[in-house]
Structure 1
Amino acid sequence: MRGLTNHYTIGMAGHIDHGKTTLTKALTGVDTDRLKEEKERQISIELGYAPLQMEDGSILSIIDVPGHERFIRQMIAGVAGIDLVILVVAADEGVMPQTKEHLEILKFLQIKKGIIAITKKDKVEEELLELVEEEILDELEGTIFQDAPVVFLNSIKKDGMEELKQVIINELKNLQVKHEVGNFRLPIDQVFSLKGQGTVVRGTIMEGVIQNDETLEVLPSGLLVKARQLQVHNAKVQKAKAGQRVAVNLPNISTTEIKRGDVLVHSHTYETTDTIDVSLQFVKKLQHPIKQRSLIKVHIGTAEVLGRIVFFDRNEYEGEYSEEVLCQIRLEDEITAKRGDKFIIRRPTPVETVGGGWIIQAKGSKYKFGKETLHRLQKVKEGIPEQRVKQALAKHYLLEIKGIQAETGLTNKEMESLIEYGKIIQIKKGQFTGSDIVLDLKERLINYILSFHQTYPLKAGVSKAELLSSLMNSFPSDLVEYVIEILQEEGIIQRRESLINSVEFKPHFPKAWKKRMEQVVSRLESDGLTPKLFVEYGREAGLPEKELHELRYYLIYQKEAYELSDKHLISVKNLVDSVGTLKKKYPQELALGQVKDELGMSRKYLIPYVELLDSLGITQRIDKKRYWT
């Protein structure tokens, strides 16, 4: 089975009681109906989540979406972050009304990949299964599933599961992955509290990367929080990437301060808005026309907010299904969104899905009714050169000029203008990136280095190799090295040998262990040239093994101690004092016996001591004597 290297989320969609939850359990071993009411009524009410372990070791996220009409809001929140849809259709019932509404929602959210899972094949005679497939495909003509692979299943007996897994691999391997470059954004779909942990939120990362201990912002409230712990499928991780489902522990805030629909972002990277300019399409059959300023519910990401449609070329809509309408939605509450985000609109009463589309401008203004506004919105939809370049570089990070032009259709003059105004930056001969990508990478590097200093206060810095490794899955190494050089030139970071640190950082003892570490250093100095095993100093001071190891590294790197052996350290001060004593008594040459007599050392320490002097270049051994260098 060919492996996957990226992170994907798969949604189970379809009519109620067609076997989505049973199929999820057959694939993953997880029963996603966790609520008492779900067990009693045997229907899914909330979104269900489960990890799908593949043979190559990769783990996919499965979202079991509620199928009942009453729970369509949860369904929309679930499919907002998925890469692939498995449409579950029971062999004995076929495509049902709720399935069709799910199909409309998937179309508006522009989800491209799908698989048809025909469940309960044991309910239909074997010779009729081919006819069942034909009928289902006829119903799905004109949707993303018209050419989708079909798998027949019996979830209870786990018949067809391996075939389905292989089809999943085949469909995902050529799928464009979510952007790990760009600012981190996590639409929240679950908020709960754990005893001893505090508030925890869950969601599927829409774009970017989150790392442990980062400072984040909750939008639209603007509340600043700290990510104290990250988990992906119940396993602790140091970072999580676009496409992964993640749980984030947010201590020191209440569950009343954050809710489903909020968005977790890097601080000061996103704005909120209550007016969005949109490209909108409507469902095939509207029960009633959509009038000017009609009240609607907007579902975007995991948020649901009331708003009103503002048309600029009509007073109501009852047109063709394929018609695109450029208009505006004015919201009653602010949302976090950006250009390109997809959304669904539903009528509050009578309740129905009426359409969906994408945001062409996240912060709209008030415009006049008429053709002039429509012309302006069309230009906005097409995108100004800068926006088109942003979209191209968000996929490729680094491109040659010809590559950018092939992606965007921009002229030489337009490209020259973007370079002149610093929107496109050349990082090496022939390779260009966007200024926004450089700014984002700067912030990530700085945050990583500061987080490293906070976690390892005794270490002088983080190695360049570790920095490159931490970001190479998101950015090309050439780009990371370029930004490291820029931060050095700007005096924000500095390099010392192979290590990189913030210019404002000085290695220091962590507050929690400061007194015990000072005790170790004091006793090491007091033992002069005959130190004990270094681990004994740690035991005496009650210093844990990990912290003692960090202290040893600190003392050596900061030139406060030298290694006398692999188990002994000697204070630099004591070594310098002893060298001064020896030079004063024996200014020209030095014999082993003279060192022993003058310093009163046993052979256990004598040999390592003189070999240390040799290795430091303080002395040079010729035959049986040593000479000062």
Structure 2
Amino acid sequence: MNLKSKPFNVSIAILGHVDSGKTTLAKMISTTKSTAAFDKSPQSQERKITLDLGFSSTKIPIPEHLQKRAEEMQIKEIQFTFVDCPGHASLIRTVVGGSQIIDMAIMVIDITKGIQTQTAEDFIIASIWTNKMVIVLNKTDLLPEEKLKKRIELLEKHIKKALSDSPFGNSPIVSVSALQSKGNELVMKELQNMIEIPERINTKNPFVMLVDHCFNLKGKGTIITGTIIQGSCSVSDTIEFPSLNEQRRIKSMQIFHEDVLQAEKGDRVGICISQFDSKLFERGIVCQPGAISSFTGAIALFNRIKFFKHPIKSRSKLHITIGHETVMTKFLFFKPPKEKKEVSFDNFTTDLEYLYVDEFKQEDSPIFALLKFEKKILALNNSLLIGGKLEIPLESNECRIAFSGQIINGFNWETESKSLKENLKIASFKFRTGLVDRVQDSSTLIGKDLFGKGAEIKRYSGTQVSIENKDGKKTDGTIISSFGKTGKFKIRIDSNDSSWIEVGNIIKMRKTKYVFLV
């Protein structure tokens, strides 16, 4: 199979609370399974829950609404790759890693239990990556016919209300019994109605693949399976394992058991290499040699998740997940003055003086952040990320996802932070306050209590201050000299209207300090 004849891949995450029937549903709507599908691991079979990402697929003809687009792109067939994600709350790192390769999502809800803790968290995770979802009410076989219709109506009403201000407010809701294979055609119909052919930009960029499984295949070699997130690869290409500093040549490739010569961004592919110990590599990144660098620091753009109820303070630490890797990370938040520039991925520059933000609140989104990782990570600039407080106890029923974001620029903290500190100006302001002691005339006043006795007030000549009264009226002024030897000082009033200024009004002087992470 060559690149033009292979189907166009669309990845669909199957999410939901533990024991909601995700894996059973995946079996129902799939026609082909991968080497990592349907809880094949001994641990999953023993515990009877999904412990790792599972992959399966099915092919569909081009839906009518995509005929023209598919013809333009020379696509003859579409392949749905289903990513079966664990439902247990303790496996959130695996869910986050799997969610980063998806184009659409299926949310499976146990019809007898409704929205549960992990269901709600999965809605949040999915909303970061996609706005396309089919909601599946599973296990209809557990309810008698006379109660089923009423339960469906009640649950649909509750779900629509809960999702009314989310990207999934208008998502279709279907009822199925995955165990009895009833309703699979409803799920597939909604997926086909919803599907669009996603943009696969940067397919000419260097090859990068998120690997989720690595194992030996007797008589063949070592197999790595994963999803290509950038570029393309071909048989005989040399690929690199940057975490191991090793390179291997691609012997052969398959997409769900079909041999291919090439694979591109968006494809889930199995790559066969030789003379490689699979025990050295479980999951992570492979790429074109030299395409990936390691980071220990980064500038990023963040958006806060409104359901996260804990404060997010500068210089605090949270978990960050990028790809399949989770690392503890320290933050410092900052933003430009409102009148200067909006906060966006393309607007970051070291030419601007930024304002330090002590606590990242909802109204601050989006915001810039300086990141310091506790260990090296492998990632691309522009990589998507999720941050959270993953140590929150499972029984607390709290949202652990704090923010989502994107890396603007990664760097080596040890060698580059000194230069960045000199160029990245993040200003923290402290205010010193005094009082109006005397109004000398309409343009001059005398202040006190801003400086101590014997202070070198001439150092502050030309410094801007503000004068405020108890009603909130204010104007600016400039310190021009000391006045006597008791710490008093003279201020020139900048406003033409100073008639309201009187003894006892507050004088504020702002002191600027530039901050950085240590």
Q: Describe how 1:102-251 pairs up with structure 2 within 5 A.
A: 102-108=122-128, 110-122=129-141, 123=143, 124-177=147-200, 179-251=202-274
Give the partner amino acid of 2:17.
H
Q: Secondary structure at the match of 2:318?
A: strand
Pick the aligned partner of 1:92 from 109, 112, 126. 112
Pick the aligned partner of 2:299 from 265, 270, 277. 277
Partner Cα separation in structure 1 for residue 99 and residue 321 of structure 2: 11
Using the TM superposition, give the Cα deviation of residue 134 of structure 1 relative to its aligned residue in structure 2, in angstroms.
1.3
Using the TM superposition, give the Cα deviation of residue 74 of structure 1 relative to its aligned residue in structure 2, in angstroms.
1.1
Q: Describe how 1:358-377 pairs up with structure 2 within 5 A.
A: 358-363=406-411, 365-366=416-417, 367-368=420-421, 372-373=425-426
Specify the alignment match of 1:79 in structure 2.
99
Using the TM superposition, give the Cα deviation of residue 295 of structure 1 relative to its aligned residue in structure 2, in angstroms.
2.8
Partner Cα separation in structure 1 for residue 150 and residue 401 of structure 2: 37
Q: Secondary structure at the match of 1:78?
A: helix
Contact 1:185–1:265 (CA under 8 A) maintained in structure 2 = yes
Partner Cα separation in structure 2 for residue 292 and residue 148 of structure 1: 37
Q: Describe how 1:242-261 pairs up with structure 2 within 5 A.
A: 242-261=265-284
Contact 2:312–2:361 (CA under 8 A) maintained in structure 1 = no
Specify the alignment match of 2:362 in structure 1.
320
Specify the alignment match of 2:348 in structure 1.
none
Partner Cα separation in structure 2 for residue 318 and residue 333 of structure 1: 24
Q: Secondary structure at the match of 2:292?
A: coil
Partner Cα separation in structure 2 for residue 287 and residue 334 of structure 1: 29
How many residues end up aligned between the 2 structures? 371
Matched, 1:346 2:388: yes
Partner Cα separation in structure 2 for residue 214 and residue 370 of structure 1: 40
Question: Could you say if the C-alpha distance between residues 369 and 325 of structure 1 is closer, same or farther in structure 2, counting changes exceeding 3 Å?
Answer: farther
Give the partner amino acid of 1:356.
S
Give the partner amino acid of 1:87.
M
Q: Describe how 1:527-566 pairs up with structure 2 within 5 A.
A: none
Partner Cα separation in structure 2 for residue 210 and residue 311 of structure 1: 38
Per-residue CA shift, 1:218-266, capped at 9, x if unaligned? 12333211111211112222111221111112211222433312x1111
Give the fraction of aligned pairs with identical amino acids, expressed as a percent. Answer: 24
Question: Could you say if the C-alpha distance between residues 17 and 105 of structure 1 is closer, same or farther in structure 2, counting changes exceeding 3 Å?
Answer: same
Give the partner amino acid of 1:130.
E
Pick the aligned partner of 2:52 from 46, 60, 75. 46
Q: Secondary structure at the match of 2:391?
A: coil
Specify the alignment match of 2:323 in structure 1.
301
Pick the aligned partner of 1:330 from 364, 367, 372. 372
Question: Could you say if the C-alpha distance between residues 349 and 128 of structure 1 is closer, same or farther in structure 2, counting changes exceeding 3 Å?
Answer: closer
Give the partner amino acid of 2:50.
S
Question: Could you say if the C-alpha distance between residues 350 and 93 of structure 1 is closer, same or farther in structure 2, counting changes exceeding 3 Å?
Answer: closer
Using the TM superposition, give the Cα deviation of residue 18 of structure 1 relative to its aligned residue in structure 2, in angstroms.
1.4
Give the partner amino acid of 2:378.
T
Question: Could you say if the C-alpha distance between residues 322 and 161 of structure 1 is closer, same or farther in structure 2, counting changes exceeding 3 Å?
Answer: farther
Using the TM superposition, give the Cα deviation of residue 20 of structure 1 relative to its aligned residue in structure 2, in angstroms.
0.8
Give the partner amino acid of 1:282.
R
Partner Cα separation in structure 2 for residue 80 and residue 348 of structure 1: 17
Give the partner amino acid of 2:164.
E
Partner Cα separation in structure 1 for residue 319 and residue 236 of structure 2: 36
The TM-score with structure 2 as length reference comes to 0.66
Using the TM superposition, give the Cα deviation of residue 136 of structure 1 relative to its aligned residue in structure 2, in angstroms.
1.1
Structure showing greater radius of gyration is 1
Q: Secondary structure at the match of 1:269?
A: coil
Question: Could you say if the C-alpha distance between residues 23 and 374 of structure 1 is closer, same or farther in structure 2, counting changes exceeding 3 Å?
Answer: farther
Q: Secondary structure at the match of 2:411?
A: coil
Give the partner amino acid of 1:268.
G
Matched, 1:291 2:313: yes
Partner Cα separation in structure 1 for residue 283 and residue 427 of structure 2: 34
Partner Cα separation in structure 2 for residue 218 and residue 321 of structure 1: 41
Pick the aligned partner of 1:357 from 398, 401, 405. 405
Contact 1:276–1:361 (CA under 8 A) maintained in structure 2 = yes
Per-residue CA shift, 1:454-499, capped at 9, x if unaligned? xxxxxxxxxxxxxxxxxxxxxxxxxxxxxxxxxxxxxxxxxxxxxx
Q: Secondary structure at the match of 1:25?
A: helix
Matched, 1:66 2:86: yes
More strand by share: 2
Question: Could you say if the C-alpha distance between residues 197 and 90 of structure 1 is closer, same or farther in structure 2, counting changes exceeding 3 Å?
Answer: same
Question: Could you say if the C-alpha distance between residues 174 and 204 of structure 1 is closer, same or farther in structure 2, counting changes exceeding 3 Å?
Answer: closer
Matched, 1:8 2:10: yes
Partner Cα separation in structure 2 for residue 371 and residue 53 of structure 1: 50
Specify the alignment match of 2:19 in structure 1.
17
Q: Secondary structure at the match of 1:158?
A: coil
Give the partner amino acid of 1:25.
K
The TM-score with structure 1 as length reference comes to 0.55
Q: Describe how 1:579-590 pairs up with structure 2 within 5 A.
A: none
Specify the alignment match of 1:582 in structure 2.
none
Partner Cα separation in structure 1 for residue 215 and residue 222 of structure 2: 6
Using the TM superposition, give the Cα deviation of residue 372 of structure 1 relative to its aligned residue in structure 2, in angstroms.
3.9
Using the TM superposition, give the Cα deviation of residue 308 of structure 1 relative to its aligned residue in structure 2, in angstroms.
1.6
Specify the alignment match of 1:35 in structure 2.
41
Using the TM superposition, give the Cα deviation of residue 285 of structure 1 relative to its aligned residue in structure 2, in angstroms.
4.4
Partner Cα separation in structure 2 for residue 215 and residue 374 of structure 1: 47
More helix by share: 1
Partner Cα separation in structure 1 for residue 424 and residue 324 of structure 2: 34
Q: Secondary structure at the match of 1:146?
A: coil
Q: Secondary structure at the match of 2:230?
A: coil
Partner Cα separation in structure 2 for residue 65 and residue 92 of structure 1: 21
Partner Cα separation in structure 2 for residue 357 and residue 16 of structure 1: 27
Give the partner amino acid of 2:411.
K
Contact 2:14–2:105 (CA under 8 A) maintained in structure 1 = yes
Contact 2:10–2:78 (CA under 8 A) maintained in structure 1 = no
Using the TM superposition, give the Cα deviation of residue 286 of structure 1 relative to its aligned residue in structure 2, in angstroms.
4.1
Per-residue CA shift, 1:19-44, capped at 9, x if unaligned? 11111011115561112332233211
Give the partner amino acid of 2:81.
S
Contact 1:273–1:363 (CA under 8 A) maintained in structure 2 = yes
Question: Could you say if the C-alpha distance between residues 322 and 42 of structure 1 is closer, same or farther in structure 2, counting changes exceeding 3 Å?
Answer: farther
